[in-house]
Structure 1
Amino acid sequence: MSIATHCPRRDLRVRRSYRRGNGLFASLALAAGTLLGAPAAQADSPVTSPALPYGPYTCATSLVWREAVPGDYVCVPPGVRTRASQDNAAAASRVQPGGGAYGDDTCTQGYVWRESRPSDHVCVPPPTRTYTWNENANAVYGYADPTGLPANGTNARWEGQLHVWGSGFTPNRLVDVWSFDSATHAYSKSSLPLRADGSGQLDGFATRNSTQSDYRSVHVLIVDPATGLVRNAGRVNAPNFW
């Protein structure tokens, strides 16, 4: 049974709230305003808290799934989901009759592809595409408990640097690496993004060498900004390398 069957179209409310970075609030507020060592063992399957009513992708309080396309679990304010639904309904009227420079999906003048993922060719006003990209890039902040997100084949290990590897990412696109400290609910983003290869494989180091001896335990979250997909590559013990 798909996750969507567990998520009626209403606010996905949970008991816990998490600190979010300024980048998410800036992006989502703009959109809503327009509308109205020693590595730890890795786990490839999600560990979902019983408190999460809609599974590992349960949104934080007051946020809902965007649902711009099937399987879109980026968490946004309700007004953003409404906008996505309205854009989907108007999609046919915004396509250039007979096609054009970009094929059958060429938009009429004044519209661009939304690109919630590379295959999303729904035509929208240019600001909406910018909001969508920002929502994808900041998707890490939207979940009630990011430690329960599935790994989907990604892994992380501390080897003097943070080594991250996995598959199924958007080919030839940058991927962002974040840490989440469940003790403080703090997020940090690595200054060294990685790039998936032409087959969507990811394998590289997301930090520089470190000789610090003060270790802490964090979850490594991998964000594919081209799709908004967030993966939990597992918990590692590492210095404060961010």
Structure 2
Amino acid sequence: MIESQHPVRLLVHGASGRMGQALLRLADEHEDLSVVAAVARSKPAQRVIDGVPHFAVSELGGLPEFDVAIDFSLPQGFDVILALCVSRGRALVSGTTGLDEAQRKALDEAARRIPVLWASNFSLGVAVLNELVERAAAALPGWDCDIVESHHVHKKDAPSGTALTLGECAQAGGAAPRYAALRAGDIVGEHMVQFTGLGERVELVHRATSRDIFARGALQAAWRLAGREPGLYGMRGLLFD
């Protein structure tokens, strides 16, 4: 991490989205963080909002210096922020889901040059849920495993990135997960992993009622990631070490 009396300088990419807005609002809670730029797809109607300079993606070349970028955008906007961080040698925290195989490979390659953290979910509760799912799968061999996730109607990828990560944890424990996705109303995020045997059932559930939990987790991760050695970091290891 950066050892300095100065706050870690943040760039927020995807600033016009729900998560971007939450990040900009909650960053003020951290005296050791300072947002130096907010980037969105479209040119901003107002250049400076609440003291934060706003830029369009087309203006990336003119961005001020930053220590770490936090990216919550869409897959089609991911490549440019990854390339910017690599070119400037700066850390990247990303929660953009729906990345394709080429983008995941580019993320792995970038980790050879800069510190990178990609996570499908930044909540502390989900980090614990991942661990519980792997343990349950290992302890319940032969049981059916179903993952049901629910999100707001505007979420595009399905199953969610969090559901797929939970599925990877289940597979690591020996289960063969199946998925179901619901899109309804303004649900922030709900994930249920169900293990079913003969005459009994185990359910592990996480419900998010506020998007702020993800933003706070991402801000904490950004502070911890800034200034680290290049590498691909995990959410559990970074937040709990």
- After TM superposition, the score normalised by the length of structure 2 is 0.30
Higher strand share: 2
Higher helix share: 2
- After TM superposition, the score normalised by the length of structure 1 is 0.30
